[in-house]
Homo-oligomer: A and B are copies of this chain.
Amino acid sequence: MTDKKPILLIALGGNALIQKGQTGTADQQFENLNLPMKQIAELSRKYRVVITHGNGPQVGNLLLQQESCDEVPKMPLEVIGAMTQGQIGYMIESSLDTALMEMGVDEEQDFVSLITYVVVDENDPAFQKPTKPIGPFYTEAEAAKLSYNLVKTDKGYRRVVASPKPVAIVECKEIKKLIDMDFIVICCGGGGIPVVRKERRFSGVEAVIDKDLASSVLAREINADIFIVASDVEGAAVDWGKPEQRLLRKVALPEIKEYVKAGHFPEGSMGPKVNAVIQFVESTGNRGIICNLDDIQKSVEGVAGTEICQ
């Protein structure tokens, strides 16, 4: 049933759709997807491919829109996340479709974009101390009327939500079967829609999940042969931003763990990517890569990006 091609999981950073300085029109988002999707279509000749993606700017835009309009009931964050899975899933799938058509293989290659929700632990300490800022900035007067957790920033008040650890991907069983059937699967958008399980029921929670950590959980569950975190940086570097900055090309687990301890990878940017890849490599012994979106193919060939190995 399966042709046993190795499995490649690619986690696309937010800039695969909206690049720095862009407002994020639909045209920009489709245009930005061209190069990553061409590479992924090419790679699908040799690999069974799973694609995950971020959703930060898209969630921000939807929150801003719903705050601007009192006529329509506001949707909770989990539903906003679901909307971005629809939006981005469609954009990725149709861009991939175009790339596969250009290669003349769209008829034989199956691909789907799935709604995915991810279980988090309701006792996760992150819920006690929400730290992830999302959505628009508020004036003090606006903030006083809001029931959200808020944080004061230079630009005004901002809502903060928890970023709990992803525990399990609900659709994992289905995703595995689809990979077995050689489907390209687009899933786990924005790290997944966060839900908690209470008795016989999943309930959405007001939280966001780090998409690299969720992708790492999925990569381990499906036993990916290669896990790639692709964004707008070339790879992981030590002494980032200093004159002696040095890109790591191939680095063993013990060495990169030392760099983590020494604080080389800041929280909120490279930190989660490095942790996500470390967890994957530690658990599977397989290849874990951090690379630029333009270098996905090169990094699979071993000539770009940062590869973490055992």
Contact = CB atoms under 8 A, between A and B. Distances in A.
Contacts of A110: 173-174, 177
A139 interface: no
Interface in A49-78: 61-62, 64-66, 68-69, 71-73, 75-76, 78
Given A71-B64, A177-B181, A115 B98 contact: no
A306 interface: no
A183 interface: yes
Contacts of A72: 23-24, 61, 64-65
* Range for the number of chain A residues in contact with chain B: 35 or more
Contacts of A204: 94
Contact of A86 (B65, B69, B89): B89
Q: Determine how many copies of this chain the complex contains.
A: 2
B101 A115 contact: no
A184 to B, nearest CB: 10
A283 interface: no
A69 B73 contact: no
B101 A201 contact: yes
Interface string A171-193: 10110010001010010000001
A302 to B, nearest CB: 31
A124 interface: no
Nearest to A197: B101
A26 B79 CA distance: 8
B112 A89 contact: no
A73 B114 contact: no
Interface of A: 23-26, 61-62, 64-66, 68-69, 71-73, 75-76, 78-79, 82-87, 89-91, 93-94, 97-98, 101-102, 110-115, 117, 170-171, 173-174, 177, 181, 183, 186, 193, 195, 200-202, 204
Given A61-B72, A68-B71, A90-B117, 11 more contacts: A23-B73, A25-B73, A26-B75, A64-B72, A65-B65, A68-B68, A85-B86, A93-B117, A112-B115, A177-B181, A181-B181
